[in-house]
Amino acid sequence: MERRGTAAVVLLAVAALAAAEAQLSPAFYDAICPALQPTVRRGMAQAVQKEPRMGASILRLFFHDCFANSSDGSILLDDTPSFTGEKSAGPNANSVRGYEIIDGIKAQVDASCNATVSCADLGGPNWTVQLGRRDALTASPNVNLPSPLSSLPALLSSFRAKGLDARDLTTLSGAHTVGFARCSSFRAHVYNDTAVDSTFAAQLRAGVCPWTGGDGNLAPLELQGPNKFDNKFFRDLIARRVLLRSDQELFGGGAASSSTTDGIVRAYAANASLFADDFAAAMVKLGNLALTGSNGEIRLNCRRAN
């Protein structure tokens, strides 16, 4: 079922033992907040039921939080008169969504657990079972995110800077099997690029993405099921029917991609469970870019430092 698929992507991980050593652990909250797991699952399930896209949106929010220094809830901090946070940064403004869902879940978790669970941990998808993150005291000055116009070498270097390799890049980009993009994010690709199926590009030009205006019009990142987490995105890549130039860079880009990512794309397109297994592992790696121990804090309000 479509909706179940999305819920599976995003139902936040939870679990835990009050780890004696403050390292990330699936059991981090077992003793100090046993209500965490059911509360977070219920909150996400309700949000996705209300709006199926929310699963994709929270998944993206988590990625953006992790890339801005670490998976530390820094993206959740609101701007103030003296402080410009990550929410206003180019790749996030008018694009990242789901902050109010995290606020709602935080309130429900705090009602049971009195501020023992960090905002950063509330942002982890289902299979990010490592917990015990701490919240950043400030936003990161540089969100470090690649652009939808990035070349393969640029994507590789941005991921390498986070300790993630070509395979991680390819695997995690498979997140684009869910969710939507705005016309302003894919206009250049459907008007100006040659590495795109011509019928597909023509449909978008004639439809949701005019040459001028319609910047905020949405198209699904994966045509056949934007609410379903599967491996069809990789088949779209092979058929050159994806929205983002940065995604198409992973396949068919000549020497650069054939030696690094083409084979991985083909393997995922052929084997859905290989992709699912690798994605779960890569999400754990992404979430391990985190603050732990006595660094940072446990925020009372996800939108501001205590």
Ligand X SMILES: *[C@@H]1O[C@H](CO)[C@@H](O)[C@H](O)[C@H]1NC(C)=O
The minimum distance between CB 29 and ligand X, in angstroms, equals 15
Residues within the annotated binding site for Ca(2+)?
Answer: 65, 72, 74, 86, 177, 230
Task: For ligand HEM, give the closer residue by CB, 85 or 179.
Answer: 179
Distances (CA, A) of 55 to 102, 130, 153, 204: 12, 19, 29, 24
Catalytic residue numbers read: 64
In degrees and rounded to multiples of 5, residue 131 shows phi and psi of -130, 165
Residue nearest to ligand HEM (CB): 179
Residue 166 is which amino acid?
Answer: A
Where are the strands (E) in the chain, listed by range? 180-182, 218-220
Judged by CB under 6 A, which of 57, 92, 118, 126 binds ligand X?
A: 126
The minimum distance between CB 126 and ligand X, in angstroms, equals 4
Q: Which of residues 81-110 bind ligand HEM (CB under 6 A)?
A: 95, 97
Buried-state track 121-150, b at ≥16 Cβ within 10 A, e below 16:
bbbbbbbbbbbbbbbbeebbeebbbbebeb
Judged by CB under 6 A, which of 203, 271, 288, 301 binds ligand X?
A: 271
CA neighbor of 174 nearest in space, from 91, 286, 25, 54: 286
Binding site for ligand HEM (CB under 6 A): 53, 56-57, 59-60, 63, 95, 97, 146-148, 150, 155, 169, 172-173, 175-176, 178-182, 185, 221, 244, 246
Residues that bind ligand X (CB under 6 A): 7-8, 11, 69-70, 114-115, 126, 187-188, 191-192, 271, 273-274, 277, 289
